[in-house]
Structures are given as structure tokens and as C-alpha cells.
Chains A and B, each alone.
Chain A
């Protein structure tokens, strides 16, 4: 029997300052990149046409001309800032026209402009014959994406709104099934994943398209998934080991589920890697976002969500204890007895102390 992790006893929570520090650094890195690029290029992200507006024409050639030649042909059509971009196929090029101003006209004419420019190299293949079937055809427009400023802004706002709405939905469900501190911790962790992933997109200037948003939402799902597995175990263990502190229970729960966490994340990582390698150009942004997201989603459910939840519960506990102390002095003995079960020198709490037993008794 192969078993990756057997009887692990890592004190995850002892390193929480490190974990959170690393995450904050990563997020700051993304933030710096975004702010820096915003200051220098006025765009924190390399937004695709979906969000920025503009036209992308995918052209297949028999013999692709040099990018420079295509650009000068476009200049003759009064298109100045065109970008000619290679794809993973040598005979296919992307020609990108930025959107100028607030005008909608480009959505209607982008394809025609590119066609007019390309006709200087020879005729387009007849649509019913395709490039390979038409001996006279020199090129074929195989796809266009033209998005106007209005539609771009609409898609952008919608993407943000959907992401936030999904997060709120998750928060509510976890709050209902666990405690609201659990829900908040899970959502903070997921938010962190999204920010870190977006940071990577800003640093490496990967293009942010509609499918990247879908990927972000998927990663939200996966990250919450991982977090819930740990939380579920914490909930179960608190019921089974009522004498143990939350600190110890959390560490134990993370360790007990570690095997599953690593296997699942590893397998998802492999599937996503297959997408990056074999999914072609169209799935690239999506799979890159997921690849980064899976790594940090797994990391955050262990290293961010649980520490935040424990810290929060401890704060609430401390506040309750302080309140209890002012009302009834004798309860001090109860507090003292906890130090026996507490983790190594940490300010741990026992579930039976004060009113804070709901985490253990409620399902």
C-alpha cells in the first residue's frame, strides 16, 4: 500500500505568521506590479478585447507574411496601432486592432479593414472552399472577436459582480453550516487566492479574458472545497475530542486531511497541466489561471483559512472570557485548567469554556 503521509504531526499554526507574511508579500508584489503598470502604461492588466474593447482577427495564411509587412499594409488602411501576434500554429496569426476612443464604429469595420489590408497580398479564399481547397486563396479569416467600448465595460462589470456574488453565496452557506467565523475565514482565503492569481496575471502580463474569469471562479470553487474539507474535519474532531483545544484540533485536522489535500490537488493540477500543454491557444489563459490558482488555493486552505479562523475564534473567546471574568470572579479556576490541554505555549482555548461551546455542539 502506498501512503504519502502517515501519521503527520506538523504544527501548522505555529508558522501562521510566516504563512500570512508570505501571502501578504505575494499580494503586495501583484499590487506593486498593477500600480506600476497603471502608472506607466495606464493599464494594470493586459486586458483582452472582451474587457477593453477592440478587434482581434484570426487569419490563416498559406505563407504568412512578416508581421512588419502586415502592419504596414494596415497602416495604408489608416490602422496605426495594430498588433500582429503569432500563435502556436505557424500558419495562423492574430491581428489585434485597439479600440479608438469611445467609438462603436470599429466593431463594425474591424474585419473589413483587416480584409482590405490583407487583400494586398492576394485574394481571400472562397468561404465554401476554405484555404486548402482554393488554389487562388492566399489567406482566410477564420475568426473575429470585436467588442465595443460599451460591451467591454458591461462584460467587465458583470465579471466583477458575478465573482463577488459567488463569494457572498459561499460565505452564507458556510456560515449556515459552520460558524460565521469559518465562513469569513474561507472567503478571506479565497479572496487571497483570487488576488494572488490576478497578481501573477499582472506581473507576467498574461491576457485577462472572459475565460480567465471563469477560471477564477473555478479556483474559488476548488479553494473553498479544500477549506471545507479541513473545516469539516475540525467540526467532527471538536465533537470527538472535547477536551482538546481548538489549536490542537485544527492542527490535527489539517494533518489528518493532508493526504487527501495533496492527492486531490495533485490530480487536479495534473489535469490542468494537461490543459496547459494540450489545450491549445484558446484554453491557455484559462488553464494558466487555474494552474496558479490550484497551487495557491491548496496553500491558502491550509495556511490561511485555518489560522485566520483560529485567531478569530480565540479573539471572540478572549472577549467572552473577559466578560465572564467581570461578572463572576470564581470562574478563574476554569480558565486555569485549560493550560493542561493547550498547545505548546500558545494562548489556546477549550471548547467548554464559557459560551463558546457552540462550535462543538452544533452541527
Chain B
């Protein structure tokens, strides 16, 4: 081998090693002398390597957006709209209902007079989105009019709802000020799953409730005789229903809601019966204004109550404010209700025209008022979510795992090094140098690709040690074999590397292939494993073959005539 060639190789190795070393333990800021002390290196190492949740502690949540609920809700909304549209146009409708389930969503309207069916269809489609043929297919039999949601529309609407839910969750997480959260879709797109990782969050209970929180705010017209009569309430639900209809079926433009009346908020005595006085009120559907018209909502200390009490101030967007102003202007002396999640929070008497702001009164604690204001601000989720998976790791558990992993790797590495030095003597040093370089460059690779180190990732490192040492064993055994056949030392080394290289490539490529499958199709922890293994194997081609070869070349090149090789 030529001296020049050797020099070139030595320079490449030196540059790669130094670069790798700097990537691993070099600070990302302007380095000072302190950074190269023991504690400095430890600190930089900790900030350079991204640890997975299982090692640094945190919460991992997988949730699913129940898009079928969204589609159901949408269909039911259209039923009400269709019935109203038909009645507004002066047609008699016998019944209207939604048929949902088994992946089909239908609006069914039964006309009182079959001959009017076609007219009803026209009237409905003029006012309601059911006329959109890309979403709804229309069919008629006898007096029954049916609109069915197409499969492609179901898919795209559901996908949209899931995306929207993710955005809302995103804004809620951001508002909470959680550091470095990771929010992404999980699994296939059609599964509508969302993965949320929150490093450092040990107890996700509050976050979970907050994300699930469906704060739907509505301002409604309370059906009641105008002031000065008090607002009309009923003691039972049945009584409320009976007041607007006989036979227990509510008309489409009425709803009966629960109303928990609060006692005088200035009284400081903890009256236990306060929460118990549940009443029912009848309100008009649809609502005057809903949560989508909200501009802002903030938690403020209650003006009337004690210092522990909070309420929520809200204001409306321009459009909402106009609508609200027009409505309140024409309903002076009547009652309106502030409804939160289908429960009337307060009933207000309209004294004069109101435009863009209001309060949600109630006895909230600071935290619940804050959370409520936050969920109101971020808008309502288009569909409820459910949790499929929850994993939390406390920092102590993570630290235990790191310690166990480091201990296992250190013992494994020590055993391997010991064996190589005893069995292959001088050449064992080659293998050890290659192994240590492999570890450094693997870490550098992890940092460079921004991969996260997980517990299975540590296992991947241990296995890389195994694969790396295998390459050395393959080469050394081959050199020994070649020596036994009586070849000169340089040619035995040459042949040994050459022959073993083919095998090393084959073994590495197969393992990389299976690791790639793991990476592409695997889930969190398995991916971490695949990443370290692939990086480790790629690095190994450099360290076990190129570097080890160069050391041999240097050894052989030192003497004029090589008589023995320590292998």
C-alpha cells in the first residue's frame, strides 16, 4: 500500500472522528473552556441528544375524533332545517327524522300529501344545503323524501372534521403553555387518530379533560311570557315538554334544557341545596348565536360573589354582534339564556339592545373558569374525542431506564472488548478502536438526523455493538484462514478484507431492509429501535471496514518486511 494513500485515509478518518466528536459533545453556542469539563460535557450531551418520552418522562396520548358523531350531528341539523324549510314554504310535513348508523347518513322527510313531494323537495333544496348533489343524493318513494350522504362526502367531511379537531386541540395545547408538545396525526388518515406527546407532563388528567372539553356556548331565546312576568321554568322535564306540545314530541323549533338556578351569589354561606334546584326551561331552536361567533372569552373574578368565584366575560365577532344586536333590539322585555353544553347557565332579562358582549355567570373556580374560557376561545370541537391510548412516564422512571440501559450497554461493551483483546490480541485493538468510533459516530448520526433516543433505541445500540463486532470477527477469522493457507501477511490481510467485505455488505443490507420496514410501518418505540440500528449499521461500514483496514495498513507499512501479525 502506498504511503500517500495511507495519509489520505488517515486525514479522512481524523476529520470524520473530530466532526463526530464535536457533534456529540460540542456545545451549540460559542464554546467556552467550561464546556469541556466533565460537567460541561455532560450538560451539552444532555441538550444535544433528544430523549424520547420513555426516557425523559412525559405523557403520550392517542385520541380518536369520533367523526361519525360529527356526521350524525350534521345530518340531524339538516333534518331540522329541512322540516322548517318545508313548513316555511307552506307545506305539511308528517314527520322528519334522521337515519344514521352502519356508515349511512340519511335525512328522511315524509310529506303529508304525496303529490306535494316534488314541491317540498324544491322548497327544501332552495334553502338547505341538501341541494348540494356532491354531498347528498336524493331519492323519493311515495310520500317519503330521502337525502343520503354520499360515501366520498362522508370521507371528506370526516377528514375535515378530524383536521379541524386537530387544529383546535393544537390551539388549546398552545394556550396551556406546554413546552415542546408534539401533535400529529396517528395511523392511517382515515382512522382519524391524533397523537399528542407532552414531555415533562406527568399527570395528563387536566390536559385530557381540557382537550375533551366541548364547551359549546349558545345564546338562546327563552320561551316565556314577556317581563314583568318572571321567566317561565318547570319542575320536571316532562312538564316542560308538555307545555309546548301534547303527546311528548317536541316540535323542531323548540328544545327543553336543564337550568340550575343559583342562589343569591352574595350570600357567603355554603348552601348545599344551591346546586340541587334543577329546573327546566323551554328555549327556541336554533340558537340566536353560537360559539363560532365568539371573538374572545376571559375568566374574571365575579363582581358579585366572593373572591374565590370567577365568571367568564365574552365578546362577539362583528357578524355575531350585528345579529345579536338586531335580535335583542326586537326582543326587549323578553328573556334570553346563556347555554353552555346544553345546560342553561343563566337567564337574563333583556332591558335594552345588547351588541357584542356578555357574561357567563356561575360559581367557577379560577382554574375551571380559565379552562372554560380557553375552550370557548379555541372554538368547539366538531366532534367529541375519545382516548385510545394513554402512557405516562414519570421522570424517576425515565431516569431508571436510562441508568439500566447505560449499565447494560457498558457491561456488554466491556465484555466484548475484553474478549476481542484476549482472542485477537494486537488486532483486537483494531476492533476496539473501531467499536468506540462506531459508538461516537452513531451518536453523532442520531443528533444529526434529529432522531430521538428511546429505550428500545438503547437496545438498538447494544445490538449494533453485536453487529459491529461481527464484522471484525468475520474479517479477522478470514485473515487467519488466509494465513493458514500460507499467504504472505499483506496479501492475507488484503484477501481477508476483500472476501469478508462481500459478506458484510450482504448481512448489513438485509438487516437494514428489515429495519426500514420497522421504521416505515412501526410505531413509536419500535421506530426508535430501527433508527439507531440503521444509523449504527451504516456507521459500521465505515468504522469496521475502512478504519480497521487503515490501521492494518499503517501497521504493515511501518516495517520494511512484515514477519508476524498479532491476530
Contact = CB atoms under 8 A, between A and B. Distances in A.
Tell me, yes or no, whether A binds B: yes
Nearest 4 interchain pairs by C-beta? A280-B404, A271-B412, A142-B394, A268-B466
A221 to B, nearest CB: 4
Contact of A166 (B474, B517, B523, B529): B517
B387 A260 contact: no
Interface in B467-496: 467, 469-470, 473-474, 477, 480-481
19 contacts: A60-B396, A107-B389, A108-B208, A143-B397, A147-B388, A150-B388, A162-B517, A177-B506, A211-B525, A218-B463, A236-B502, A256-B481, A263-B419, A264-B473, A268-B470, A277-B411, A278-B404, A280-B400, A283-B458
A327 B208 CA distance: 77
Interface secondary structure of B, over-half rule: helix
Most buried by A among B208, B388, B393, B407: B388
A30 to B, nearest CB: 22
Given A214-B526, A282-B401, A259 B510 contact: no
Interface string A109-145: 0111000000000000001001000000000111111
A170 interface: yes
Nearest to A294: B466
A270 B419 CA distance: 10
B517 A225 contact: no
Nearest to B388: A151
Contacts of A217: 514, 518, 526
A218 B458 CA distance: 13
Contacts of B394: 58, 140-143
A275 B390 contact: no
Contacts of A177: 506
Range for the number of chain B residues in contact with chain A: 35 or more
A150 B186 CA distance: 13
Contact of B386 (A104, A165, A215): A104
Given A2-B423, A211-B456, A283 B404 contact: yes
Contacts of B463: 218, 221-222, 268, 271
Contacts of A169: 513-514, 516-517
B513 A279 contact: no
B456 A222 contact: no
B408 A127 contact: no
A256 B400 CA distance: 44
A155 B389 CA distance: 11
A352 to B, nearest CB: 24
Interface secondary structure of A, over-half rule: helix
A75 to B, nearest CB: 23
Interface of B: 54, 62, 64, 187, 191, 202-203, 205, 208, 386-394, 396-397, 400-401, 403-405, 407-409, 411-413, 415-416, 419, 422-423, 425, 455-456, 458-459, 462-463, 465-467, 469-470, 473-474, 477, 480-481, 499, 502-503, 506-507, 509-511, 513-518, 521-523, 525-526, 529, 533, 567
Contact of A228 (B208, B503, B515): B503
Given A213-B526, A221-B511, A264-B469, A271 B462 contact: yes
B405 A279 contact: yes
Nearest to A132: B396
A286 B506 contact: no
Contacts of B404: 278-280, 282-283
Contacts of A146: 387, 389-391
A144 B392 contact: yes
